[in-house]
Structure 1
Protein backbone atom coordinates (compact mmCIF):
# COMPACT_ATOMS: atom_id res chain seq x y z
CA UNK A 1 0.00 0.00 0.00
CA UNK A 2 2.73 2.47 0.97
CA UNK A 3 4.74 1.59 -2.14
CA UNK A 4 1.72 2.17 -4.36
CA UNK A 5 1.09 5.54 -2.72
CA UNK A 6 4.74 6.57 -3.21
CA UNK A 7 4.52 5.61 -6.87
CA UNK A 8 1.44 7.77 -7.32
CA UNK A 9 3.28 10.73 -5.75
CA UNK A 10 6.36 10.39 -7.95
CA UNK A 11 6.93 13.66 -9.87
CA UNK A 12 5.79 13.58 -13.46
CA UNK A 13 8.59 12.79 -15.90
CA UNK A 14 9.19 15.70 -18.28
CA UNK A 15 11.67 16.49 -21.01
CA UNK A 16 12.96 19.39 -18.90
CA UNK A 17 13.67 17.07 -15.97
CA UNK A 18 15.43 14.57 -18.25
CA UNK A 19 17.65 17.26 -19.78
CA UNK A 20 18.46 18.76 -16.37
CA UNK A 21 19.49 15.35 -15.01
CA UNK A 22 21.64 14.66 -18.07
CA UNK A 23 23.37 18.04 -17.76
CA UNK A 24 24.10 17.32 -14.10
CA UNK A 25 25.67 13.97 -14.99
CA UNK A 26 27.77 15.51 -17.77
CA UNK A 27 28.95 18.34 -15.52
CA UNK A 28 30.04 15.89 -12.81
CA UNK A 29 31.40 13.00 -14.86
CA UNK A 30 31.72 14.04 -18.49
CA UNK A 31 29.45 13.57 -21.46
CA UNK A 32 30.47 9.93 -21.98
CA UNK A 33 28.73 9.10 -18.70
CA UNK A 34 25.38 10.22 -20.13
CA UNK A 35 23.04 7.50 -21.35
CA UNK A 36 19.29 6.99 -21.40
CA UNK A 37 19.63 4.26 -18.78
CA UNK A 38 21.86 6.38 -16.53
CA UNK A 39 19.50 9.35 -16.69
CA UNK A 40 16.55 7.10 -15.95
CA UNK A 41 18.33 5.76 -12.86
CA UNK A 42 19.06 9.31 -11.75
CA UNK A 43 15.36 10.16 -12.03
CA UNK A 44 14.13 6.94 -10.45
CA UNK A 45 12.34 5.96 -13.66
CA UNK A 46 12.41 3.08 -16.11
CA UNK A 47 14.62 3.62 -19.16
CA UNK A 48 11.71 2.84 -21.49
CA UNK A 49 9.69 5.68 -20.00
CA UNK A 50 12.28 8.19 -21.18
CA UNK A 51 11.80 7.15 -24.79
CA UNK A 52 8.37 8.77 -24.80
CA UNK A 53 10.24 12.09 -24.46
CA UNK A 54 13.68 11.39 -26.02
CA UNK A 55 14.01 9.04 -29.00
CA UNK A 56 17.80 8.54 -28.85
CA UNK A 57 20.92 9.67 -27.05
CA UNK A 58 21.94 11.98 -29.90
CA UNK A 59 18.70 13.91 -29.45
CA UNK A 60 19.41 14.18 -25.74
CA UNK A 61 22.87 15.61 -26.44
CA UNK A 62 21.33 18.22 -28.76
CA UNK A 63 18.81 19.19 -26.08
CA UNK A 64 21.54 19.40 -23.43
CA UNK A 65 23.75 21.61 -25.60
CA UNK A 66 20.88 23.92 -26.46
CA UNK A 67 19.80 24.15 -22.82
CA UNK A 68 23.18 25.33 -21.56
CA UNK A 69 23.62 27.59 -24.61
CA UNK A 70 20.86 29.65 -23.00
CA UNK A 71 23.47 30.66 -20.41
CA UNK A 72 25.53 32.34 -23.13
CA UNK A 73 22.82 34.83 -24.05
CA UNK A 74 23.37 38.36 -22.77
CA UNK A 75 20.28 39.60 -20.91
CA UNK A 76 18.91 43.02 -21.78
CA UNK A 77 20.48 45.45 -24.20
CA UNK A 78 23.91 44.84 -25.70
CA UNK A 79 26.59 47.52 -25.37
CA UNK A 80 26.37 50.07 -28.15
CA UNK A 81 29.98 49.66 -29.27
CA UNK A 82 30.40 46.62 -31.52
CA UNK A 83 33.70 45.57 -29.93
CA UNK A 84 32.30 45.75 -26.41
CA UNK A 85 29.17 43.85 -27.51
CA UNK A 86 30.95 40.97 -29.25
CA UNK A 87 33.51 40.80 -26.42
CA UNK A 88 30.70 40.48 -23.86
CA UNK A 89 29.29 37.56 -25.84
CA UNK A 90 32.72 35.91 -26.09
CA UNK A 91 33.22 36.22 -22.32
CA UNK A 92 29.78 34.79 -21.65
CA UNK A 93 30.50 31.91 -24.03
CA UNK A 94 33.76 31.11 -22.27
CA UNK A 95 32.10 31.26 -18.84
CA UNK A 96 29.33 28.86 -19.89
CA UNK A 97 31.79 26.43 -21.43
CA UNK A 98 33.93 26.50 -18.30
CA UNK A 99 30.84 25.60 -16.24
CA UNK A 100 30.00 22.82 -18.70
CA UNK A 101 33.34 21.53 -20.11
CA UNK A 102 31.55 18.84 -22.14
CA UNK A 103 29.81 21.50 -24.23
CA UNK A 104 32.89 22.12 -26.37
CA UNK A 105 33.07 18.43 -27.25
CA UNK A 106 29.38 18.22 -28.16
CA UNK A 107 29.24 21.36 -30.31
CA UNK A 108 32.43 20.35 -32.13
CA UNK A 109 30.78 17.17 -33.42
CA UNK A 110 27.11 18.14 -33.74
CA UNK A 111 25.63 21.23 -35.46
CA UNK A 112 23.89 23.64 -33.11
CA UNK A 113 20.45 24.27 -34.60
CA UNK A 114 18.29 24.51 -31.48
CA UNK A 115 16.37 27.66 -30.56
CA UNK A 116 18.96 28.92 -28.07
CA UNK A 117 21.79 28.30 -30.53
CA UNK A 118 19.88 30.36 -33.09
CA UNK A 119 19.28 33.08 -30.49
CA UNK A 120 23.04 33.13 -29.82
CA UNK A 121 23.77 33.60 -33.52
CA UNK A 122 21.09 36.29 -33.81
CA UNK A 123 22.48 38.16 -30.81
CA UNK A 124 26.02 37.90 -32.15
CA UNK A 125 24.92 39.37 -35.49
CA UNK A 126 23.04 42.11 -33.64
CA UNK A 127 26.27 42.96 -31.81
CA UNK A 128 27.77 43.79 -35.22
CA UNK A 129 24.98 46.10 -36.37
CA UNK A 130 27.40 49.03 -36.62
CA UNK A 131 26.59 50.48 -40.06
CA UNK A 132 30.29 50.63 -40.89
CA UNK A 133 30.42 46.80 -40.83
CA UNK A 134 29.14 45.44 -44.11
CA UNK A 135 26.40 42.81 -43.61
CA UNK A 136 28.27 40.16 -45.60
CA UNK A 137 31.25 40.45 -43.22
CA UNK A 138 29.22 39.85 -40.06
CA UNK A 139 28.93 36.04 -40.25
CA UNK A 140 32.70 35.75 -40.76
CA UNK A 141 33.37 37.99 -37.75
CA UNK A 142 31.01 35.90 -35.60
CA UNK A 143 32.68 32.68 -36.78
CA UNK A 144 36.17 34.02 -36.08
CA UNK A 145 35.27 35.13 -32.53
CA UNK A 146 33.47 31.84 -31.84
CA UNK A 147 36.43 29.85 -33.20
CA UNK A 148 38.88 31.79 -31.02
CA UNK A 149 36.72 31.37 -27.92
CA UNK A 150 36.07 27.66 -28.49
CA UNK A 151 39.76 26.97 -29.14
CA UNK A 152 40.82 28.86 -26.03
CA UNK A 153 38.32 27.00 -23.85
CA UNK A 154 39.42 23.61 -25.20
CA UNK A 155 43.03 24.43 -24.38
CA UNK A 156 42.34 25.71 -20.87
CA UNK A 157 40.05 22.74 -20.17
CA UNK A 158 42.90 20.42 -21.08
CA UNK A 159 45.21 22.36 -18.77
CA UNK A 160 42.74 22.06 -15.91
CA UNK A 161 41.84 18.40 -16.40
CA UNK A 162 45.23 16.97 -17.32
CA UNK A 163 46.42 16.37 -13.71
CA UNK A 164 43.32 14.31 -12.82
CA UNK A 165 43.08 12.53 -16.17
CA UNK A 166 46.75 11.80 -16.83
CA UNK A 167 48.40 12.09 -13.43
CA UNK A 168 50.79 14.97 -14.12
CA UNK A 169 50.59 18.75 -13.95
CA UNK A 170 52.00 21.47 -16.26
CA UNK A 171 55.15 21.82 -14.14
CA UNK A 172 55.90 18.11 -14.50
CA UNK A 173 55.17 18.31 -18.22
CA UNK A 174 57.63 21.17 -18.67
CA UNK A 175 60.25 19.33 -16.61
CA UNK A 176 59.90 16.30 -18.87
CA UNK A 177 60.26 18.44 -22.00
CA UNK A 178 63.29 20.23 -20.51
CA UNK A 179 64.98 16.91 -19.84
CA UNK A 180 64.39 15.92 -23.47
CA UNK A 181 65.74 19.25 -24.71
CA UNK A 182 68.81 18.72 -22.54
CA UNK A 183 69.88 15.70 -24.54
CA UNK A 184 72.96 16.34 -26.71
CA UNK A 185 72.05 18.04 -29.96
CA UNK A 186 68.30 18.21 -29.26
CA UNK A 187 68.06 21.86 -28.15
CA UNK A 188 69.56 23.00 -31.45
CA UNK A 189 66.54 21.52 -33.23
CA UNK A 190 64.17 23.63 -31.07
CA UNK A 191 65.83 27.06 -30.77
CA UNK A 192 62.52 28.86 -30.25
CA UNK A 193 60.97 26.39 -27.81
CA UNK A 194 63.93 25.84 -25.48
CA UNK A 195 64.10 29.44 -24.12
CA UNK A 196 60.38 29.32 -23.21
CA UNK A 197 61.01 26.40 -20.86
CA UNK A 198 64.02 27.85 -19.04
CA UNK A 199 63.67 27.67 -15.26
CA UNK A 200 61.52 25.46 -13.06
CA UNK A 201 58.21 27.34 -12.72
CA UNK A 202 55.23 26.52 -14.96
CA UNK A 203 54.15 29.26 -17.28
CA UNK A 204 51.82 31.84 -15.77
CA UNK A 205 48.80 30.93 -17.89
CA UNK A 206 49.10 27.32 -16.71
CA UNK A 207 49.39 28.22 -13.04
CA UNK A 208 47.05 31.12 -12.43
CA UNK A 209 43.39 31.69 -13.31
CA UNK A 210 43.88 35.47 -13.48
CA UNK A 211 46.70 34.94 -15.97
CA UNK A 212 44.37 32.80 -18.11
CA UNK A 213 41.78 35.59 -18.04
CA UNK A 214 44.44 38.09 -19.11
CA UNK A 215 45.57 35.76 -21.88
CA UNK A 216 42.00 35.38 -23.16
CA UNK A 217 41.40 39.14 -23.15
CA UNK A 218 44.72 39.86 -24.85
CA UNK A 219 44.06 37.35 -27.64
CA UNK A 220 40.53 38.66 -28.12
CA UNK A 221 41.84 42.22 -28.31
CA UNK A 222 44.44 41.23 -30.92
CA UNK A 223 41.73 39.53 -32.97
CA UNK A 224 39.37 42.51 -32.85
CA UNK A 225 42.21 44.98 -33.52
CA UNK A 226 43.01 43.08 -36.70
CA UNK A 227 39.38 43.04 -37.76
CA UNK A 228 39.00 46.75 -37.15
CA UNK A 229 42.08 47.59 -39.19
CA UNK A 230 41.08 45.31 -42.05
CA UNK A 231 37.33 45.89 -42.24
CA UNK A 232 36.46 49.35 -40.98
CA UNK A 233 37.12 52.61 -42.75
CA UNK A 234 39.60 55.02 -41.19
Structure 2
Protein backbone atom coordinates (compact mmCIF):
# COMPACT_ATOMS: atom_id res chain seq x y z
CA UNK A 1 0.00 0.00 0.00
CA UNK A 2 1.26 3.48 -0.83
CA UNK A 3 0.22 6.89 0.38
CA UNK A 4 -2.72 8.25 -1.60
CA UNK A 5 -2.36 11.63 -3.29
CA UNK A 6 -3.52 14.31 -0.89
CA UNK A 7 -3.42 12.00 2.12
CA UNK A 8 -1.98 13.94 5.09
CA UNK A 9 1.36 12.90 6.55
CA UNK A 10 1.37 10.55 9.49
CA UNK A 11 2.59 13.38 11.70
CA UNK A 12 -0.50 15.48 10.96
CA UNK A 13 -3.02 12.72 11.79
CA UNK A 14 -4.42 11.72 15.15
CA UNK A 15 -5.03 8.02 14.60
CA UNK A 16 -4.68 6.80 18.17
CA UNK A 17 -1.67 4.52 17.64
CA UNK A 18 -1.81 0.80 18.45
CA UNK A 19 -4.90 -0.88 19.86
CA UNK A 20 -4.18 -4.59 20.23
CA UNK A 21 -2.15 -5.87 23.20
CA UNK A 22 -0.05 -8.38 21.21
CA UNK A 23 1.48 -5.77 18.93
CA UNK A 24 2.30 -2.16 19.65
CA UNK A 25 3.40 0.62 17.37
CA UNK A 26 6.71 0.69 19.26
CA UNK A 27 7.34 -3.00 18.54
CA UNK A 28 6.50 -2.48 14.88
CA UNK A 29 8.91 0.43 14.60
CA UNK A 30 11.69 -1.45 16.38
CA UNK A 31 11.29 -4.40 14.03
CA UNK A 32 11.12 -2.06 11.03
CA UNK A 33 14.46 -0.50 11.97
CA UNK A 34 16.00 -3.95 12.32
CA UNK A 35 14.61 -5.00 8.94
CA UNK A 36 15.85 -1.83 7.26
CA UNK A 37 19.29 -2.30 8.82
CA UNK A 38 19.54 -5.79 7.38
CA UNK A 39 17.69 -5.45 4.07
CA UNK A 40 17.66 -1.74 3.20
CA UNK A 41 14.72 0.17 1.79
CA UNK A 42 14.66 -2.01 -1.33
CA UNK A 43 14.19 -5.15 0.75
CA UNK A 44 11.60 -3.68 3.08
CA UNK A 45 7.97 -4.78 2.78
CA UNK A 46 5.02 -5.08 5.10
CA UNK A 47 5.02 -8.83 4.47
CA UNK A 48 8.63 -9.17 5.63
CA UNK A 49 7.96 -6.92 8.58
CA UNK A 50 4.98 -9.03 9.61
CA UNK A 51 7.08 -12.20 9.32
CA UNK A 52 9.73 -10.67 11.60
CA UNK A 53 6.99 -9.90 14.14
CA UNK A 54 5.36 -13.32 13.65
CA UNK A 55 2.11 -11.61 12.84
CA UNK A 56 -0.27 -11.43 9.91
CA UNK A 57 0.43 -8.70 7.40
CA UNK A 58 -3.05 -7.24 7.69
CA UNK A 59 -2.73 -7.04 11.49
CA UNK A 60 -0.10 -4.32 11.06
CA UNK A 61 -2.68 -2.03 9.53
CA UNK A 62 -4.42 -1.78 12.90
CA UNK A 63 -1.46 0.35 14.00
CA UNK A 64 -0.27 2.06 10.81
CA UNK A 65 -2.14 2.88 7.63
CA UNK A 66 0.60 2.41 5.02
CA UNK A 67 4.12 1.20 4.40
CA UNK A 68 5.11 4.85 4.09
CA UNK A 69 3.90 5.46 7.64
CA UNK A 70 6.22 2.74 8.91
CA UNK A 71 9.16 4.24 7.04
CA UNK A 72 8.36 7.68 8.48
CA UNK A 73 8.22 6.23 11.99
CA UNK A 74 11.45 4.27 11.56
CA UNK A 75 13.30 7.30 10.22
CA UNK A 76 12.17 9.47 13.11
CA UNK A 77 13.11 6.76 15.60
CA UNK A 78 16.72 6.62 14.44
CA UNK A 79 16.91 10.42 14.29
CA UNK A 80 16.22 10.19 18.02
CA UNK A 81 19.63 8.55 18.45
CA UNK A 82 21.24 11.97 17.99
CA UNK A 83 21.59 13.28 21.54
CA UNK A 84 19.63 16.32 22.66
CA UNK A 85 22.01 18.01 25.04
CA UNK A 86 21.74 21.33 26.85
CA UNK A 87 24.34 23.41 24.99
CA UNK A 88 23.52 26.98 26.03
CA UNK A 89 26.90 27.27 27.73
CA UNK A 90 28.83 25.55 24.89
CA UNK A 91 30.51 27.40 22.03
CA UNK A 92 28.20 27.31 18.99
CA UNK A 93 30.89 25.83 16.75
CA UNK A 94 31.73 23.03 19.18
CA UNK A 95 28.01 22.31 19.67
CA UNK A 96 27.35 22.05 15.91
CA UNK A 97 30.45 19.93 15.32
CA UNK A 98 29.42 17.45 18.00
CA UNK A 99 25.87 17.16 16.67
CA UNK A 100 26.99 16.81 13.05
CA UNK A 101 29.51 14.12 13.91
CA UNK A 102 26.80 12.26 15.82
CA UNK A 103 24.55 12.54 12.76
CA UNK A 104 27.25 10.96 10.62
CA UNK A 105 27.64 8.11 13.09
CA UNK A 106 23.89 7.46 13.06
CA UNK A 107 23.91 7.43 9.23
CA UNK A 108 26.72 4.86 9.36
CA UNK A 109 24.73 2.62 11.70
CA UNK A 110 21.58 2.91 9.58
CA UNK A 111 22.78 3.33 6.00
CA UNK A 112 19.20 3.44 4.67
CA UNK A 113 18.72 6.87 6.23
CA UNK A 114 20.36 8.63 3.29
CA UNK A 115 17.89 6.97 0.91
CA UNK A 116 14.82 7.98 2.90
CA UNK A 117 15.94 11.51 3.70
CA UNK A 118 15.81 12.36 0.02
CA UNK A 119 12.19 11.19 -0.32
CA UNK A 120 10.34 12.74 2.63
CA UNK A 121 10.43 15.77 4.93
CA UNK A 122 11.91 15.32 8.40
CA UNK A 123 8.83 16.38 10.37
CA UNK A 124 8.56 13.71 13.05
CA UNK A 125 8.86 14.83 16.68
CA UNK A 126 12.43 13.57 17.15
CA UNK A 127 13.57 15.13 13.87
CA UNK A 128 11.88 18.47 14.57
CA UNK A 129 13.32 18.62 18.09
CA UNK A 130 16.83 18.20 16.71
CA UNK A 131 16.24 20.70 13.92
CA UNK A 132 14.95 23.17 16.49
CA UNK A 133 18.11 22.75 18.57
CA UNK A 134 20.26 23.18 15.45
CA UNK A 135 18.49 26.42 14.53
CA UNK A 136 18.69 27.65 18.12
CA UNK A 137 22.45 27.12 18.19
CA UNK A 138 23.04 29.16 15.03
CA UNK A 139 20.57 31.83 16.10
CA UNK A 140 22.42 32.13 19.40
CA UNK A 141 25.64 32.57 17.43
CA UNK A 142 24.08 35.63 15.79
CA UNK A 143 23.09 34.63 12.25
CA UNK A 144 20.07 36.53 10.88
CA UNK A 145 17.15 34.41 9.53
CA UNK A 146 18.02 34.26 5.82
CA UNK A 147 21.67 33.44 6.46
CA UNK A 148 20.67 31.00 9.19
CA UNK A 149 18.47 29.07 6.76
CA UNK A 150 21.24 29.02 4.17
CA UNK A 151 23.77 27.80 6.75
CA UNK A 152 21.49 25.00 7.96
CA UNK A 153 20.76 23.87 4.39
CA UNK A 154 24.45 23.91 3.50
CA UNK A 155 25.46 21.88 6.54
CA UNK A 156 22.64 19.39 5.95
CA UNK A 157 23.57 18.99 2.28
CA UNK A 158 27.23 18.48 3.19
CA UNK A 159 26.57 15.79 5.80
CA UNK A 160 23.95 14.00 3.72
CA UNK A 161 26.01 14.08 0.52
CA UNK A 162 29.27 13.06 2.17
CA UNK A 163 27.78 10.14 4.09
CA UNK A 164 25.64 8.94 1.17
CA UNK A 165 28.76 8.71 -1.03
CA UNK A 166 30.74 7.21 1.84
CA UNK A 167 28.15 4.48 2.48
CA UNK A 168 27.98 3.53 -1.21
CA UNK A 169 31.77 3.37 -1.38
CA UNK A 170 31.95 1.22 1.76
CA UNK A 171 29.38 -1.20 0.36
CA UNK A 172 31.36 -1.51 -2.89
CA UNK A 173 34.96 -1.55 -1.67
CA UNK A 174 35.16 -3.50 1.57
CA UNK A 175 38.86 -4.39 1.67
CA UNK A 176 41.19 -1.59 2.86
CA UNK A 177 44.10 -2.97 0.86
CA UNK A 178 41.97 -3.05 -2.28
CA UNK A 179 40.95 0.56 -1.68
CA UNK A 180 44.57 1.63 -1.16
CA UNK A 181 45.62 -0.06 -4.39
CA UNK A 182 42.76 1.58 -6.31
CA UNK A 183 43.88 4.97 -5.06
CA UNK A 184 47.45 4.29 -6.09
CA UNK A 185 46.32 3.21 -9.55
CA UNK A 186 44.31 6.41 -10.01
CA UNK A 187 47.27 8.48 -8.85
CA UNK A 188 49.62 6.77 -11.30
CA UNK A 189 47.13 7.24 -14.13
CA UNK A 190 46.76 10.97 -13.43
CA UNK A 191 50.52 11.48 -13.20
CA UNK A 192 51.00 9.59 -16.47
CA UNK A 193 48.58 12.02 -18.13
CA UNK A 194 49.58 15.20 -16.34
CA UNK A 195 49.28 17.11 -19.61
CA UNK A 196 45.53 16.38 -19.61
CA UNK A 197 44.96 16.78 -15.87
CA UNK A 198 47.58 19.29 -14.69
CA UNK A 199 45.69 20.53 -11.64
CA UNK A 200 44.91 17.01 -10.44
CA UNK A 201 48.50 15.90 -10.97
CA UNK A 202 49.83 18.93 -9.12
CA UNK A 203 47.29 19.39 -6.32
CA UNK A 204 45.12 16.34 -5.63
CA UNK A 205 46.12 13.76 -3.02
CA UNK A 206 44.28 10.76 -4.38
CA UNK A 207 45.97 8.32 -2.02
CA UNK A 208 44.36 9.90 1.03
CA UNK A 209 41.79 7.42 2.34
CA UNK A 210 41.20 9.14 5.67
CA UNK A 211 37.42 9.65 5.49
CA UNK A 212 37.19 10.90 9.07
CA UNK A 213 39.86 13.53 8.50
CA UNK A 214 38.37 14.54 5.17
CA UNK A 215 34.92 14.93 6.68
CA UNK A 216 36.20 17.09 9.51
CA UNK A 217 38.28 19.30 7.19
CA UNK A 218 35.29 19.89 4.92
CA UNK A 219 33.11 20.69 7.91
CA UNK A 220 35.72 23.12 9.22
CA UNK A 221 35.71 24.96 5.88
CA UNK A 222 31.93 25.47 6.08
CA UNK A 223 32.08 26.52 9.74
CA UNK A 224 34.93 28.92 8.91
CA UNK A 225 32.61 30.51 6.37
CA UNK A 226 29.83 30.87 8.93
CA UNK A 227 32.29 32.35 11.41
CA UNK A 228 33.47 34.85 8.80
CA UNK A 229 29.87 35.95 8.21
CA UNK A 230 29.41 36.43 11.93
CA UNK A 231 32.57 38.53 12.14
CA UNK A 232 31.40 40.67 9.22
Same fold (TM over 0.5): yes
Q: Deviations over 1:75-130 (max 9, x none)?
A: 33355321112112111111111111110110012111111111111010111133
1-structure distance, mates of 2:114, 2:88: 24
Match of 1:232 in 2: 230
Q: Which moved more, 1:117-126 or 1:70-79?
A: 70-79
CA contact (8 A) 1:37 1:47 kept: yes
2-structure distance, mates of 1:192, 1:57: 49
Deviation at 1:188, TM superposition (A): 3.2
Q: Deviations over 1:16-35 (max 9, x none)?
A: 11111111111122221111
1-structure distance, mates of 2:40, 2:203: 33
Corresponding position: 1:104 with 2:103: no
1-structure distance, mates of 2:87, 2:204: 45
* Superposition TM-score, scaled by structure 2 size: 0.79
Sort the Cα spacing of 1:169 and 1:22 in 2 relative to 1 into closer, same or farther, 3 A: farther
2-structure distance, mates of 1:124, 1:181: 41
Sort the Cα spacing of 1:79 and 1:215 in 2 relative to 1 into closer, same or farther, 3 A: farther
Match of 2:218 in 1: 219
Tell me the number of residue pairs that the alignment of Structure 1 and Structure 2 aligns: 212
Match of 1:41 in 2: 51
Match of 1:5 in 2: none
Which of 184, 198, 208 is equivalent to 1:204? 208
Once the two structures are superposed, the pairs formed by residues 74-153 of structure 1 within 5 Å of their partners are: 74-130=84-140, 132-153=142-163
Corresponding position: 1:58 with 2:56: no
CA contact (8 A) 2:35 2:44 kept: yes
2-structure distance, mates of 1:181, 1:212: 21
Sort the Cα spacing of 1:223 and 1:79 in 2 relative to 1 into closer, same or farther, 3 A: farther
Q: Which structure is higher in RCO with an 8 Å CA cutoff and minimum separation 6? A: 2
CA contact (8 A) 2:32 2:49 kept: yes
CA contact (8 A) 1:69 1:117 kept: yes
When the two chains are superposed, the root-mean-square deviation of aligned CA atoms in Å is: 2.8
Q: Deviations over 1:151-185 (max 9, x none)?
A: 11112212211136xxx9434544665686698xx
Sort the Cα spacing of 1:48 and 1:169 in 2 relative to 1 into closer, same or farther, 3 A: farther
Corresponding position: 1:191 with 2:212: no
Sort the Cα spacing of 1:105 and 1:72 in 2 relative to 1 into closer, same or farther, 3 A: same
Between structures 1 and 2, the one with greater helix share = 1
- Structure 1, unmatched stretches of 5+, are 1-10, 206-210
